[in-house]
Structure 1
């Protein structure tokens, strides 16, 4: 049986606080470094192309290391893996802050990604195990709030630390958090009994390489113009070939394979993985568009952008507090449908944005989108693991995190490509209309006179701005329709109360032992 049955829930509060500190620390680092990149670029004497490796290295390393979490827990025990992950992540954060060259910070970010990969899935697995079934919804609400802090608060905190102190403090901020998290986990999380397990090296290598190739393909595709680049073609082929080998190997290796095929026998878990991917595509991609719209197109400073987008986080936290208490009273699918509907409505609002709008539209659409995120995320996490056997959680939670992160990468890559193509298309259409025969241009100010070089440059600049805005609005429209079209898939989710008797008995036994 799984180690989670032996946890002493007398220390549940301290265990929860400690693992959530570790989760928030990791979640913040997914976005906190983004706003500091220009400052790093100058300090480390790197080009625009080179400095993006500070982000890419972290994302790729985390993606490759995430699937290994389940095996590590089986081999060394969950507590030991958790402690090592916290120590490694904290030390790597210090090395990032101390870096004096691009190579040093990229290597440190690789270490950060490798050690940080286990933190989020392990925190989810622990919360699932130390809470009885009737409290799982509230536990997932807390966990969801922790991992949503990063994308929401990261840019604002990173901007403030960089402006007020130095870009290095973006990484140094992890040191006290890591120390508190380590002490709490070491002091209150009981030791676990590792099981003897052999690593399927070939299966792990194929899965890791396929994920790594895919992340590189998605992260660098837009920058290198996709398949016109030899690098992107190699990464695409590598991802397909390695994943094919992984699937064939898993199918033929049986019980010795790296991926536990028992996970695929649980319909809720498999459906949850599909939705985790879709949620990553819809929610994270939308969140990635807004800061670039506000800063790049509308000229808002970094800190002000963080303040304007903060109501999204407020909405998420509010929804998570509410939904944690609703899960056992209402149909999970109805709650998620309400969340998707709110998200679609907020995207429709965002599609009404203009270049001269005030902040109220951004604030209210963000708040409603945040509510939608909360009403989707918590029930999804609860439903995904509601019928999964407790002994499979150590292996299930990393796969769930991996699919959510891959969805995020795919979504961001798609919307960025659509934005570039849509903006170029709109620019071409608008430029066609800017000619002397167009009567609508007769009343233009003298400064926009197309006969002068300065006027022509100003006209082109305005056309570029308008075209970029059209590109953003097209993206928001597409994401709205994707959100609406995802809703019928909710019918695939099975209500937890209808789980098979065997799993039901195992769950009851686990909770009886905990209580």
Structure 2
């Protein structure tokens, strides 16, 4: 064996069984990642087919993420009761069936239910895959394994919009969900053989009180953010009830975790400094991961009239940034993990500030390179953040810690998407109202001879066209404000990297 093969962390020191496990986890991650970008890509077509508004169609994304966040903490218990192979097989099977149901949905309600099932079944895929890698690879190979695991996680979001846009243009948005089924079946076969030696089961108690209390609290927060704008916030009895039930449920969860002998989530995990800071970073990473994927398809489709295939290619630029980062992640994680985390967060802040500087005439090059920079920053951050978060955690707590880690990422995603959609809707309505204040017969600018003929104020058609243009410009301001919020979140997380403690070798 060569020196490179024998070197700690070298890819040639990975055994055949470990390669098979890596392939299985990558395939599962690819499936999960494909549905994230697919759903965002086809939202404009789905909204038109099912006659849904901007805030109604956002439930297709947010409730999927809520279901994922709620089901994620069960990963540790399910993996103990069912074993790694049974859990991974059943969760990918349910995920594949739910994807098929998304494709045959004929109403918004049915699509949302199928997406909730997709999120619930898909919830264990990433934390279980992460736990399998951390549990089967030695510590000196963790960085290498996580980077290679990340190839699958990145390949899905890149492949999803490319193949999804082709399927959507050739047929319709339903074909984008149907194309998940064949690779899902292939993944099932791979899981059965890769995890053949990991069928051990343990009978452990499940804390239903803690699980239900946490679930109610998470759902209440999500519903408040999603429906607050439409129902006028706390002037609505419904929103007040959500807040009351959520507060009570969270109080019960906290008290129960501190007093129960075997709580649903062990609060002692938070005593680990690196893991606690890692959770905060994971929450911010979740906020930044999928928000732009939710905003760009509707921005490009509604405001610029881009077709699905062009949108898919532009969104795929973020995956190219992820891939570019793979060239430097492993050495950066070993040599300067805290600097890598800070640099990655800073790059994401720069890319979001760049997006916040767009106007309605933004070019394809600006969209491409800003998304690519964001993807590069995300990959630079993720691997060292994950390695350092788990570096000081005992091995028997890795599965539970991985579930909590993924929970924070998913909840950060669903919550921040709702907040950004709220910012978009409020900004659009407020700026539209301000712009229309200037459309009066007394505004001499509107009498200027160079004004476009289609904006003739003396005809109904001209007024409607002018109103549509004002709404378009107001919506662009809303998107800019949402991107600015992303930039502030990324910039605020940069100092957290300095608080991480580098573990002893």
1:241 corresponds to which residue? Answer: 248
The alignment yields a C-alpha RMSD, in angstroms, of 2.8
1:267 corresponds to which residue? Answer: 273
Partner residue of 1:462 out of 461, 466, 469:
469
Tell me, in whole angstroms, the C-alpha distance in 1 between the residues paired with 2:249 and 2:445.
Answer: 57
Conserved 8 A contact 2:424-2:478: yes
Given the superposition, is the C-alpha separation of residues 235 and 98 from structure 1 closer, same or farther in structure 2, using an over 3 Å criterion?
same
2:424 corresponds to which residue? Answer: 419
Conserved 8 A contact 1:320-1:378: no
2:406 corresponds to which residue? Answer: 401
Conserved 8 A contact 2:34-2:159: yes
Partner residue of 1:181 out of 187, 196, 220:
187
**Structure 2 regions of 5+ residues with no counterpart?**
1-13
Tell me, in whole angstroms, the C-alpha distance in 1 between the residues paired with 2:114 and 2:435.
Answer: 46
Given the superposition, is the C-alpha separation of residues 133 and 472 from structure 1 closer, same or farther in structure 2, using an over 3 Å criterion?
same
Conserved 8 A contact 2:164-2:312: no
1:206 corresponds to which residue? Answer: 213
Conserved 8 A contact 1:284-1:411: no
Paired residue secondary structure (2:36)? coil
Partner residue of 1:359 out of 351, 355, 364:
364
Partner residue of 1:23 out of 20, 24, 29:
29
Conserved 8 A contact 2:349-2:491: yes
Conserved 8 A contact 1:226-1:232: yes
1:63 corresponds to which residue? Answer: 69
Conserved 8 A contact 1:343-1:369: yes
Q: How does 1:27-66 map to 2 (within 5 A)?
A: 27-36=33-42, 55=61, 58-66=64-72
Conserved 8 A contact 2:158-2:316: yes
Tell me, in whole angstroms, the C-alpha distance in 2 between the residues paired with 1:110 and 1:138.
Answer: 33
Paired residue secondary structure (1:496)? coil
Paired residue secondary structure (1:33)? helix
1:12 corresponds to which residue? Answer: 18
Partner residue of 1:482 out of 468, 478, 489:
489
Tell me how many residue pairs correspond in the alignment. 488
Paired residue secondary structure (1:306)? helix
Tell me, in whole angstroms, the C-alpha distance in 2 between the residues paired with 1:455 and 1:97.
Answer: 40
Paired residue secondary structure (2:38)? coil
Tell me, in whole angstroms, the C-alpha distance in 1 between the residues paired with 2:299 and 2:199.
Answer: 48
Given the superposition, is the C-alpha separation of residues 332 and 469 from structure 1 closer, same or farther in structure 2, using an over 3 Å criterion?
same
Deviation at 1:437, TM superposition (A): 5.0
Paired residue secondary structure (2:363)? coil
Which 10-residue stretch deviates more, 23-32 or 262-271? 23-32
Tell me, in whole angstroms, the C-alpha distance in 1 between the residues paired with 2:92 and 2:18.
Answer: 19
Tell me, in whole angstroms, the C-alpha distance in 2 between the residues paired with 1:93 and 1:350.
Answer: 32
Partner residue of 1:88 out of 88, 94, 101:
94
Tell me, in whole angstroms, the C-alpha distance in 2 between the residues paired with 1:324 and 1:126.
Answer: 20
Partner residue of 2:120 out of 114, 122, 129:
114
Which 10-residue stretch deviates more, 343-352 or 88-97? 88-97
Partner residue of 1:141 out of 128, 138, 147:
147
1:126 corresponds to which residue? Answer: 132
Conserved 8 A contact 1:222-1:416: no
1:444 corresponds to which residue? Answer: 451
Tell me, in whole angstroms, the C-alpha distance in 1 between the residues paired with 2:417 and 2:155.
Answer: 18
Tell me, in whole angstroms, the C-alpha distance in 1 between the residues paired with 2:410 and 2:139.
Answer: 26
2:4 corresponds to which residue? Answer: none
Tell me, in whole angstroms, the C-alpha distance in 2 between the residues paired with 1:430 and 1:181.
Answer: 53
Paired residue secondary structure (2:185)? helix
Conserved 8 A contact 2:157-2:319: no
Tell me, in whole angstroms, the C-alpha distance in 1 between the residues paired with 2:290 and 2:303.
Answer: 20
Q: Deviations over 1:466-507 (max 9, x none)?
A: 22222222332333233222212222211133xxxxxx7xxx
Scaled by the length of structure 1, what TM-score is found? Answer: 0.86
Which 10-residue stretch deviates more, 305-314 or 185-194? 185-194
Paired residue secondary structure (1:29)? helix
Given the superposition, is the C-alpha separation of residues 134 and 90 from structure 1 closer, same or farther in structure 2, using an over 3 Å criterion?
same
Paired residue secondary structure (1:256)? coil
Q: Deviations over 1:26-59 (max 9, x none)?
A: 222234234445766788x776688766555533
1:4 corresponds to which residue? Answer: none
Scaled by the length of structure 2, what TM-score is found? Answer: 0.87
Conserved 8 A contact 2:278-2:385: yes
Conserved 8 A contact 2:37-2:293: no
